[in-house]
């Protein structure tokens, strides 16, 4: 468990890296953390926290927010659902570079609603990490999903200096822990320790 003092020291030590860090927020994953945290990660606190890691020239393009654009069950709809619109707009207002993809509604007889929503942006995150490689030396990932470990391993081969992963304790993939043990990922931080910086206290 990290104390407030530990966190302050970590952020202080990170300061020289700010202009060469990329922050990737897999918000679909972050949103699910509430199930184990029992509190919600706020958009504004998350954005402010991201700036501790990536700031300086062109920093908004290095603070990247990935989330599904939900237009409802009608495949021809051009109007976002209120929930989706508010989240995407709030991310933009808080100076994230927003990358979105249309949410798919897939028929499911096992689901009480008759369908399941699917929107996986792992490919988009991976492509962007490789496409933007010349702009950063450090990676901070907000996602406990282990699917990006293969890409992180490749980035390390390309010279990535360090990688920090944030996730909720019950939402950390086995692949992430294994990568940490292999020194592919330098540090795994648990959102529970950062409640005072990340909690949504005002519904934003």
d(CA 40, CA 160): 31
CATH topology of domain 4-66+120-198: Rossmann fold (3.40.50)
Q: Is the pLDDT of residue 204 over 70?
A: no
Position 108 confidence tier, pLDDT thresholds 50, 70, 90:
low
Q: Is the pLDDT of residue 73 over 90?
A: no
Q: Is the pLDDT of residue 155 over 70?
A: yes
Classify residue 114 as left (phi > 0), alpha (psi -120 to 50) or beta: left
Q: How many CA atoms does the CB half-sphere of 152 hold within 13 Å? A: 29
Position 165 confidence tier, pLDDT thresholds 50, 70, 90:
very high
Query: Is 103 within 8 Å of 117 (Cβ atoms)?
Result: yes
Query: Is 166 within 8 Å of 142 (Cβ atoms)?
Result: yes
How long is the chain?
Answer: 204
Q: How many CA atoms does the CB half-sphere of 103 hold within 13 Å? A: 23
Query: Is 169 within 8 Å of 144 (Cβ atoms)?
Result: no
Instruction: Note the maximum CA span of the chain.
Output: 53
Query: Is 188 within 8 Å of 1 (Cβ atoms)?
Result: no
Domain locations in the chain as residue ranges:
4-66+120-198
- pTM for this entry: 0.93
Task: Provide the token pair at 72.
Answer: 């409802």
- CA proximity to 136, closest of 67, 57, 47, 46: 57
For a pLDDT cut of 90, what percent of the chain falls above it? 78
pLDDT of residue 109: 65
Write out pLDDT tens, residues 30-64.
999 998 899 999 999 999 999 999 999 989 999 99
| CA separation, residue 169 to residues 34, 35, 166, 189, 194 (Å) | 11, 11, 9, 9, 12
Q: Is the pLDDT of residue 111 over 80?
A: no
Going edge to edge, which strands form the sheet with 187-190? 97-102, 63-69, 21-26, 138-142, 162-167, 187-190
Average pLDDT across the chain, whole number:
92
């Amino acid at each position: 468990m990290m104390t407030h003092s530990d966190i302050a020291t970590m952020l202080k030590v990170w300061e020289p890296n700010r202009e060469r860090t990329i922050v990737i927020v897999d918000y679909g994953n972050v949103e699910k953390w509430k199930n184990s945290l029992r509190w919600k990660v706020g958009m504004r606190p998350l954005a402010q926290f991201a700036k501790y890691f990536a700031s300086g020239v062109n920093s908004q393009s290095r603070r990247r927010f990935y989330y599904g654009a939900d237009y409802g069950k009608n495949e021809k709809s051009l109007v976002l659902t209120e929930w989706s619109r508010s989240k995407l707009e709030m991310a933009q207002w808080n100076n994230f570079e927003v990358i979105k993809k249309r949410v798919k509604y897939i028929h499911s007889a096992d689901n009480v609603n008759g369908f399941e929503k699917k929107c996986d942006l792992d490919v988009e995150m991976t492509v962007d990490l490789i496409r933007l490689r010349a702009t950063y030396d450090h990676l901070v990932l907000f996602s406990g999903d282990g699917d990006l470990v293969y890409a992180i391993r490749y980035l390390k081969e390309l010279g990535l200096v360090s990688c920090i992963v944030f996730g909720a304790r019950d939402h950390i993939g086995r692949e992430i822990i294994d990568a940490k043990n292999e020194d592919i990922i330098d540090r795994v931080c648990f959102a529970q320790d950062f409640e005072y910086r990340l909690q949504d206290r005002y519904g934003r």
